[in-house]
Structure 1
């Protein structure tokens, strides 16, 4: 099977590079394309609509740009389409000064009207941003966001929104369905070439405002059906940069070329949770959720499933990205996130789910069974699910790991029809996004109505009070009080079962490009799917042989 996969990968690469001059693996002409695999997409659709959940890779990273670029690697905000910003003392407005001389890729000038229109369109198509009142252009280079209330997380959400050209999108009848096959953006690589279902290229924006930073000729994206095939192409030196999970990376990748092959996995990712559908019994009972958590061996998941790349979670719910916000006293006193099968069994007994002949029983006498859903492309999370399955068997619960493609899994999450599943969480400059995503009643959707987050459908009004108080506070000490309160409430509610901090995977070979971020130079993460990706794209330099 591996031989067949290698052959398929070789055919794919030759098919999309043949005759193109600077192209193949090993090319160091100076015009080589930065080649990136996508292990989570077996095929590509020519959709460069930044408002679409089906947008093609690099839409928000290379084609469209935000006002400010936030990096989870060093928590810094880099001025981008905006050069500076100011928040009103009452916290109810934000004013951005836009960069002069920026043009769209079709040559038209970028102005404040584009920013105003982008947010009008975003609210119309995607909703949300309820705290945002009006967006006004004071002049072509000044935009003011008036808020309906003080809302400190607003800066992160507003400043990182990809900006879209009014002169293009205002002519579209249905922006939500528009596929935007030939996008007009301000980003460094906007020209779509050689688009196929399994490969396409993005070439230079001819009007980019930082031409001196467009050192690479372009980007090539390759589609793969999972980690294994994508990793084979990467470890064989056929691609340059991956965000895929690679087992035993030191042996399978670095050892092949210690001079050129590198990786960096900072704990800049979101918390990875085992979510339990709280609209279904017995998952609506926090005692059951905690009991199931007690049965889970997080150390084994981190060591085996995640190959030692991840850090186990605790009962604060906070990823290690947010260590400065963690309540150390609560973290030291955690109970239900520590492995204890005997305590798990006792808690299930106490909740009325007793063991009978080695099988745990529901209150109606049926066997306690559950499904764990994970997308088929994620071999690491599938391994984690299988460890949970084995752990649950020790307390008499039968689990079935289901692995359809991610589209089917996400659909079951969105509609609320799933049983349990392993899922990512929201990530941001503060823990606000995480707690809001797992505990807010404001985000609850009934089963059958599409949810964009809070798939497990849990809400606590006390959490909303703390979340709103955090957002209204402009002083960090006051914000810390609310976050401490949220951690205590999380410990009491167990809205989800936190597993581990998702490392921000990233690996590369510098045989063809140099200038990568690293632990010694953490100007961005090595992820190629986040807001700081554009910092990498504008920092790389091609190797010339």
Structure 2
């Protein structure tokens, strides 16, 4: 099936990577070749370029719409983008951005502070967040002043990385949340939709881009695949330039076929992969059960077999990868529930009333079989392997778990409404662990079952956590922030809101056959993700190979 899907998508588009060539009159090198990228998690594309939609087409928030700044977790630096600079109030209750002059949208209209204001207001209205905002003022076309209800240290990165849409278009939509926006207008480098089909589409150059000297690609070509296998086959066959898929034994299967041109880099940049347990269900509301399930998991096996040894097991702080510098060694030393301990797991289950019956199967306190699903999208072969390992591990303590693997759209929809048992879930990269703990222990994003949320799928919160999170955002002092994160780590270890598995590698592989200028471990100006805020940094650094 995977091979058929790959061949079908390529035949549909005729998209074997072409040789670059051509020069512009001013001597700047250009290319007729399109940068070709597969998406393994989308069997088909829909012409939805709404950046506020969870179902937006690829590159919507990476190439079409841009933000005022870009945080680069690989290098730990912050890159000014649509804003040239910014200034925080001394009391931490305000933030002013100065927009870059001369920036235009792809229809030729000027970027102004009103566009930023509306974009933030739409984000708050459609997706929530920004509860700390008190007012947004636009004293002139290039200045945006945000005032907060309270000091809020993470605001720089939240507001700064908000994608900006044109107010003259989006203010006219009656239902912006439902708008598919098939002909998008943005400030990004490649905005023009062409040759749109169910399994492929192209993005061509923005004719008004503010960095024309950095538009060195002929354009971007996206390909749809219903799973890792098809996307990987396209990469192995040399039909794509840049892939972000899990590939087992990538050195042998991909790099060694053309070691001169093919490369990969898998930095762990702070995104923790967790097994989330729906705490609205009685069995998972008991911390003893959560810790017991965690103790049953063989993380060494999950990392070695499921993740091809590309990462490392997590500990009970939940912090690893790019967050390693925040970890409290004293908490790590006391970790017990993130190490495999079958006897300890059995003891906790017994204490919680989940006893073994005569057949050796665990039952709930009311005598029913203790069984549940582990939900993972069918396209993620790596996480499916991890889920199957967890299910096998649980048999050793008398628990039957079934791996449920529809497509990711169905899995995510169930996560968002809280209508699932358990699932393997990613966390977003951020400059500090604040966002990680907010989304896992804070009450801000907790919604009742049936009501949509885009964070805290497991619906867990804790009053002490809220107090600490509020304390963190109220100070800009790094020492005070470090102490708060230490306290949050200790509380996380006590409460086990989720089961941390491993830091998520940022998959990324590429070939220099057609394009050069890629980020590397030696030059980490971005990650190799083609679906992250740093993607635009890559798109504006690549150029045709000589």
TM-score category (smaller protein): over 0.9
Are residues 1:24 and 2:16 paired?
Answer: yes
Map 1:104-503 → 2, pairs under 5 A: 104-356=105-357, 357-503=359-505
Partner of residue 6 from structure 2, selected from 6, 9, 19 = 9
Using the TM superposition, give the Cα deviation of residue 124 of structure 1 relative to its aligned residue in structure 2, in angstroms. 2.3
Cα distance in 2 for partners of 1:116, 1:11 equals 44
Cα distance in 1 for partners of 2:491, 2:467 equals 11
Cα distance in 2 for partners of 1:196, 1:425 equals 31
Using the TM superposition, give the Cα deviation of residue 367 of structure 1 relative to its aligned residue in structure 2, in angstroms. 2.1
Instruction: Check the 8 A contact 1:31/1:542 in 2, yes or no.
Output: no
Instruction: Check the 8 A contact 1:114/1:165 in 2, yes or no.
Output: yes
Cα distance in 1 for partners of 2:8, 2:466 equals 53
Q: Which runs of 5+ in 2 are unaligned?
A: 22-30
Using the TM superposition, give the Cα deviation of residue 15 of structure 1 relative to its aligned residue in structure 2, in angstroms. 2.7
Using the TM superposition, give the Cα deviation of residue 333 of structure 1 relative to its aligned residue in structure 2, in angstroms. 1.6
Distance 1:8 1:355, change over 3 A: closer
Cα distance in 2 for partners of 1:149, 1:333 equals 35
Using the TM superposition, give the Cα deviation of residue 429 of structure 1 relative to its aligned residue in structure 2, in angstroms. 1.0
Instruction: Check the 8 A contact 2:17/2:34 in 1, yes or no.
Output: no
1:422-461 residue CA offsets vs partner (Å, 9 max, x unmatched): 1112331111111000101222111111122111111100
Using the TM superposition, give the Cα deviation of residue 400 of structure 1 relative to its aligned residue in structure 2, in angstroms. 0.7
TM-score (norm. length: structure 1): 0.96
Question: Structure 1: which 4+ aligned runs deviate by more than 6 Å?
Answer: none
Cα distance in 1 for partners of 2:71, 2:424 equals 27
Cα distance in 2 for partners of 1:462, 1:225 equals 43
Using the TM superposition, give the Cα deviation of residue 8 of structure 1 relative to its aligned residue in structure 2, in angstroms. 4.3
Question: Which secondary structure does the structure 1 equivalent of 2:197 belong to?
Answer: coil
Using the TM superposition, give the Cα deviation of residue 24 of structure 1 relative to its aligned residue in structure 2, in angstroms. 2.7
Cα distance in 1 for partners of 2:440, 2:478 equals 22
Using the TM superposition, give the Cα deviation of residue 260 of structure 1 relative to its aligned residue in structure 2, in angstroms. 0.7
Using the TM superposition, give the Cα deviation of residue 293 of structure 1 relative to its aligned residue in structure 2, in angstroms. 0.5
1:441-488 residue CA offsets vs partner (Å, 9 max, x unmatched): 222111111122111111100000000100111101111111111111
Distance 1:498 1:335, change over 3 A: same
Instruction: Check the 8 A contact 2:5/2:226 in 1, yes or no.
Output: no
Cα distance in 2 for partners of 1:258, 1:285 equals 51
Cα distance in 1 for partners of 2:482, 2:523 equals 29
Instruction: Check the 8 A contact 1:119/1:135 in 2, yes or no.
Output: no
Using the TM superposition, give the Cα deviation of residue 350 of structure 1 relative to its aligned residue in structure 2, in angstroms. 2.1
RMSD: 1.2
Using the TM superposition, give the Cα deviation of residue 26 of structure 1 relative to its aligned residue in structure 2, in angstroms. 4.7
TM-score (norm. length: structure 2): 0.96
